[in-house]
Structure 1
């Protein structure tokens, strides 16, 4: 069991019955803040979907232990919708999200900066998949390939693979969002 972190399909974002209310409210709020609204995006060559079912407590503790820990927590864990726009912190939209009566929005650019810092701190190995498609990270962290990487590239990441998994997922999700100018959400 678990939830999935997924890239939002351009067709779904444009569909008023799927994300239309959220897309409109987001455009208004970003405009009010003077943040350029991200434009239409091309469908990525590879989609993004990762299953979030591992224990997350170690990752939360790592985020809190960083300088400016509350900001790192907000950037990586404080949102339900991650958008490829640059702004500080998170904000709420009065549009129901999948898990509450409001939708909390975060910046993919802020998440990318925070996630890069954690990746360096953990020493994520170069073998961690970059654009492997759906469940690439989920499958890699459960594979013998990850076990081999722990031997060839030891470090903090190998000592706590669940924390390393979440660091890698958040890094790749933010990269995907910025690269393809698409939102990310949980489903």
Structure 2
């Protein structure tokens, strides 16, 4: 950990892909074009640059036989669409550090908020987790001017 690290500063970004992505895939299918869904769900490397199109590399990524490099500005625009579709709450951690989203969604804070304020995002917390994950990853990449690798 960096010596000048301050929790909540958004200097680090790591999350665990624990929940099922089934609901997120259905949400993307309902609100995005096929190309947009492939971009937001399929990147392996997210770079803070605007790209005219994704870059496909013939390098095994651990999940697939190739690696997709996507531009964070493009992913952010797509992620904002699905965040609006579920009305992601302002309380969702924004300046994420290691496991902030995972902890918020899996350890009960999100469930508690959804219980007192029923809104579309709270209907499926696994889906809301992935909405927040892709949104915050793109924001982090742009804010910190750094790539993010999904491993």
Of 133, 144, 148, which residue of structure 1 is paired with 2:108? Answer: 144
Unaligned runs of at least 5 residues, structure 1: 1-43
SS at match of 2:88: coil
Q: Contact conserved, 1:82 with 1:105, CA < 8 A, in 2?
A: yes
Q: How does 1:11-160 map to 2 (within 5 A)?
A: 46-67=11-32, 69-160=33-124
SS at match of 2:92: coil
Q: Distance in 1 between matches of 2:45 and 2:18?
A: 18
SS at match of 2:16: strand
Q: Distance in 2 between matches of 1:117 and 1:128?
A: 16
TM-score (norm 1): 0.70
Give the CA deviation at 1:137: 0.4
Give the CA deviation at 1:128: 0.6
SS at match of 1:52: coil
Q: Distance in 1 between matches of 2:130 and 2:143?
A: 20
